[in-house]
Structure 1
């Protein structure tokens, strides 16, 4: 956890890494600001702990948010996982899932173009993080079904997207 305290209000805009640090601190999520351009943290989702990493590219005013659900795709499952990725990505409006070629790690990625001032609002920061966690939570079961349950990608996605009616 970072030692400094970030005091930003809901009306403030800040440099992207500073705003994300303030958000993580306010929520009590562990994080480390790696540099002025990068921050890494951890968030508990519904299914697993997710590693979050945000990288700021000032020359393009782009903030890339990565969410890693700690899922590795074995070589023998790569074909089915890639087929599932295509089906999953059709369901997503913001961001996308990938499997990194080195290490076979599943990752959700979302790039946000910020305005010419390069500032991030609290609302934007919350939306980016919440969207990443929600998408990982939504599709985590589908990846589990393919990688460990030997379901077909179509069946896995269908099973994962079943909406429950009512609450348990």
Structure 2
């Protein structure tokens, strides 16, 4: 990162990886820059830790954010996992879930096209990260129901989307 987190967060916009690094640092989330185009961080969600990877494609002016919840998909559950994946993706307005072919891991992917200056605003960065965390938290139980409780995909999704009434 070229300037400190405080300096970047005080400005309106910054290079995408620099802005993500500053946001992670300000929130106390561990992260490391892998290159000028890629950053890796870790965030504690409601159900576990999520690895976040920001990848900047300068030539297309696209920042892609990947969130990898710690969910591995065993081969024998793959059919149900893909069915659930399709049902979950119908619920999303932004981004989508996919199964990473290298390692059979669940991944949430979302991208943002930036303007001709290729700069990312703090509000955009926060929204991108918060959306990834929220969606992983929202659907994590559905995947667990399919993988560990042998629920049918539709039943797992219905169970996961039930909102609790009141407070405990």
* TM-score for the superposition, normalised by structure 2: 0.96
Deviation at 1:57, TM superposition (A): 0.1
Partner of residue 20, structure 1: 20
Deviation at 1:102, TM superposition (A): 2.1
- For these two proteins, the number of residue pairs brought into alignment is 166
CA distance in 1, matches of 2:27, 2:139: 24
Runs of 5+ unmatched residues, structure 1: none
Q: Tell me the alpha carbon deviations over residues 109-129 of structure 1, each in whole angstroms, 9 at most, x when there is no partner.
A: 001111111000000000000
Q: Helix, strand or coil for the counterpart of 1:103?
A: coil
Deviation at 1:11, TM superposition (A): 4.6
CA distance in 2, matches of 1:50, 1:98: 15
1:148/1:162 CA distance change after superposition, 3 Å: same
- Mapping for residues 89-100 of structure 1, pairs under 5 Å: 89-100=89-100
Moved over 3 A (4+): none
* TM-score for the superposition, normalised by structure 1: 0.96
Partner of residue 165, structure 1: 165
Which structure dedicates a bigger proportion of its chain to helix?
Answer: 2
1:8/1:78 CA distance change after superposition, 3 Å: same
Partner of residue 87, structure 2: 87
Q: Does the 8 A contact of 2:9 with 2:19 survive in 1?
A: no
1:10/1:43 CA distance change after superposition, 3 Å: same
CA distance in 1, matches of 2:85, 2:10: 35
